[in-house]
Amino acid sequence: EVQLVQSGAEVKKPGESLKISCKGSGYSFTSYWIGWVRQMPGKGLEWMGIIYPGDSDTRYSPSFQGQVTISADKSISTAYLQWSSLKASDTAMYYCARQSSSWAPSDYWGQGTLVTVSS
Amino acid sequence: EIVMTQSPATLSVSPGERATLSCRASQSVSSNLAWYQQKPGQAPRLLIYGASTRATGIPARFSGSGSGTEFTLTISSLQSEDFAVYYCQQYNNWPTFGQGTKVEIK
């Protein structure tokens, strides 16, 4: 069974750093792309970027380039999304999702990680 | 960036009735269009990809059509579990989502 299991909810202060994770199982982690999607409170879905764990090829949506860093550790089948300096506007639910290619629909999704940034 | 526009924002439908949701792209995306369902507190679920192919395990009452810039998701006979928010997404290049259509009980 394909599963993407994300790390737990986080509460952070503005300016702090954060790294959240997404662990894949039930499939060949290095053969599929992992994408990250943001959903701000009460809002729609925004595609942030993707990574191919097989060779760490990473692509960012222009809206998120420079704002976050996407990485992966294929030895533990885990992808990451990180911030160096959080802002209140980063408060959102973040989902990871699997894709068969760089431009493809997302067929399996993680359960989401809620990030709350508040002073 | 390709802008996806969904209509209507909210659709009120009685159980058993047909629901028709629309999605328009600001430029052609060929058939690189997916539909997702999201229920409160849950992650999105892939329903349709390639504009008209149902994902694994999706009931036949869900169907998709269209190509280029105009797309439609039809739910032939709404069940109680179908009341949710539906998003279209183009993946012809940098993926973008529509703003969603909420299907609510009439």
Q: Which residues of A are less than 8 Å from B43 in CB distance?
A: 95, 97, 109-112
Length of chain B: 106
- Give the pLDDT mean for B69-92: 97
Helix (H, G, I), strand (E, B) or coil at A62: coil
φ, ψ of residue A76 in degrees (nearest 5):
-125, 15
Determine the Cα–Cα distance for residues B7 and B91; give it in Å rounded to an integer.
19
Residue A79, pLDDT score: 98
Closest chain A CA to residue B49: A105
Name the pLDDT band for A109 (thresholds 50, 70, 90): very high
Is A103 within 8 Å of B91 when comparing Cβ atoms?
yes
Is A61 within 8 Å of B94 when comparing Cβ atoms?
yes
> How does the average pLDDT of chain A come out, rounded?
97
Determine the Cα–Cα distance for residues B27 and B30; give it in Å rounded to an integer.
9
Residue A3, pLDDT score: 98
Residue A71, pLDDT score: 98
Left (φ > 0), alpha (ψ -120 to 50) or beta: where does A112 sit?
left
Residue B7, pLDDT score: 95
Residue A55, pLDDT score: 95
Determine the Cα–Cα distance for residues B89 and B80; give it in Å rounded to an integer.
24
Q: State the nearest Cα–Cα gap between A46 and chain B, in angstroms.
A: 7
Helix (H, G, I), strand (E, B) or coil at B18: coil
Cα dihedral: A98, A102, A105, A111 (round 10): 30
- Give the pLDDT mean for B52-64: 97
Name the pLDDT band for A42 (thresholds 50, 70, 90): very high
Residue A88, pLDDT score: 97
Name the pLDDT band for B19 (thresholds 50, 70, 90): very high
Residue B6, pLDDT score: 98
Percentage above 90 pLDDT, chain A: 99
Higher pLDDT, residue B65 or A102: B65
Name the pLDDT band for A20 (thresholds 50, 70, 90): very high
CB B103, CB A113: distance < 8 Å: no
Which residue reads 């328009």 in tokens? B24
CB A49, CB A58: distance < 8 Å: yes
Residue A37, pLDDT score: 98
Q: Which residues of B are less than 8 Å from A112 in CB distance?
A: 43
